[in-house]
Amino acid sequence: MAQNKNALIRYKTIDKCLQNKYRQWTLQDLVEACSDALYEYEGRDVNVSLRTTQLDIQLMRSDKLGYNAPIEVYDKRFYRYADEDYSITNIPLTENDMTILNESVEMLKQFKNFSLFHDLDGVIQRLEDTIYVEKTHRSAIIHLDKNEQLKGLEHFDSIYQAIVKQICLVLSYRSFKAREPIQVQFHPYILKQFNNRWFVVGREEGRPQIMTFALDRIEQVDYNLELDYTTQDFNGDDFYKDTYGVTVLNDSMLMDVTLKIDKANAPYVLTKPFHHSQVLLETLEDGGVIIQLRVHLNMEFDRLLLGFGPSIEVLKPKILRNRIRGRFKLAYEQYLQETPKS
């Protein structure tokens, strides 16, 4: 057991002793009580010295732990709390405590439908009650992106449990282009998040290639206990190492990409790289930069570049440069037209 945990057990034991005002507590009594408590937790004798207990009392008296315990000595040998109602468990939360609790609760609530967190429901409610009682009236410091209308999250836990227990799924899946859903016998490997959407990645029964299904397009999830689950030694990190987003293409679309970033956007791209392969090739006289990265030329990467507008220029490869130029040309021609009347 870690020493800091032993210390917490001693503090709680001393606190419990001193709350008992019907008994006189000597230093030796407190030593024995701490030794008994540690034996109960560890199942073995732990030698608590007089010196250790004296230091514990000094720390509890100080504000180092936030206790400021009113421990006093009377009759030159007995210890007690000057305030009979005091306990280290009744210390009001500090402003920093409130901030940490508030943000922790908000993060935990993001997973409220996840079975691994079901046992935390009561804890979260008690924390929320504590925060309400001692409310600081400050707005949240940490603000998390969330979309309460995001579809498919009701399937998250079923898919997660199937991956953990290695069970095949039967997915009822309808793509944006399909009129009717299809039934897919699926071996799920990982759950992946990108751009505030969740995807399940795995292999369809009878097909060797890895497939990706968006949770928001899944209409129903069932288990197939009769089908043998196979992993094929799938590794998510290896599978996505050359990809921005979730669409993994074949090696013919894996290319070195050279980009010119203007001065205004260079710091953002350098401090938050597009991909782990990104390297700085040159810093230009006007403050812009030229970077290079090696990625699949998928639609997610196209959208990333298009989102920067004229701030990014594709220098290489030619296939990507022409593709992005064509998209901007279409957009330009579209905006040359008169604004349609509403």
Question: Cα separation of 41 and 48, whole Å?
Answer: 14
- ∠ at Cα 291 (288, 293), nearest 5°? 160
Residue 189 β-bridge partners: none
Report mean pLDDT in 10-residue bins for the chain, 342 residues: 70 92 92 90 80 92 85 93 88 64 64 56 53 52 58 83 91 89 93 89 92 92 90 88 94 95 94 95 95 96 95 96 96 85 65
**Residue 335 is inside which H or E element, if any?**
helix 318-336
Q: Which of 255, 214, 212 lies closest to 234, judged by CA?
A: 212
CA distance 307 to 78: 73
Residue 241: per-residue pLDDT: 95
Specify the CATH class of 251-336 in words. alpha beta
Which CATH class for the 153-239 domain?
mainly beta
**What DSSP line would sit under 11-43, residue for residue?**
HHHHHHHHH-TTS-EEHHHHHHHHHHHHHHHHS
Predicted TM-score of the model (pTM): 0.60
* Structure-token pair, residue 146: 């969330």
How far, in Å, CA of 320 to CA of 309, rounded?
15
- Output the CA torsion sign for 101, 107, 113, 119: negative
Q: What fold characterizes domain 3-89?
A: Arc Repressor Mutant, subunit A (1.10.10)
Question: Looking up tokens 């429901």, which residue turns up?
Answer: 121
Domain parsing of the chain, residue ranges? 3-89, 95-133, 153-239, 251-336
Q: H-helix or E-strand containing 202?
A: strand 197-204
Buried b (16+ CB within 10 A) or exposed e, 120-145: beeebeebeebbeeeeeeeeeeeeee
Helix (H) or strand (E) holding 293: strand 289-296
What's the distance, Cα to Cα, between the start and end of the chain in Å?
A: 71
> Sheet harboring 71-74: ordered strands across?
25-26, 78-81, 71-74
